[in-house]
Amino acid sequence: MDEEARGWCPLLMDARTAAKALAISSRKLWAMTASGEIPHVRIGRSVRYPVFELQSWVNEHTEGNR
């Protein structure tokens, strides 16, 4: 049984996975990361995107959600 099937969920996503989850290009994600517009974590030279913070960010930026 794999980890997700047991209810395990990763805390961080890599750029490719985050871009896919947000339905944007990797280039757009990098631009948003560089400008500080989107939540991200740097671990050494790696950049990762926190799953729960991205979900909150999407909720906060959803238009007509008030």
Segment 22-41 shows an average pLDDT of: 97
- Residues spanned by the domain of 14: 8-60
Whether residue 50 is contained in a domain is answered as yes
Q: Is residue 14 part of a domain?
A: yes
Cα–Cα distance measured from residue 41 to residue 59, given in angstroms and rounded to the nearest whole number: 19
3 in a structural domain: no
Higher-pLDDT residue of 39, 65: 39
pTM above 0.75, yes or no: yes
Q: What is the pLDDT of residue 52?
A: 95
pLDDT digits over 46-55, tens only?
999 999 999 9
Strand runs (DSSP E) across 1-66, as ranges? 12-13, 41-43, 46-50
Task: Give residue 64's pLDDT.
Answer: 81
Q: Residue 65 falls within a domain, yes or no?
A: no
* Residue 33 belongs to some domain of the structure: yes
Asked if the structure places residue 1 within a domain, the reply is no
Number of structural domains (the chain) is 1
Residue 58 CA neighbour count, 13 Å, CB half: 13
Asked if residue 44 belongs to a domain, the reply is: yes
Is 13 inside any structural domain?
yes
Percent with pLDDT over 90 in the chain: 79
| Mean pLDDT value across residues 15-38 | 97
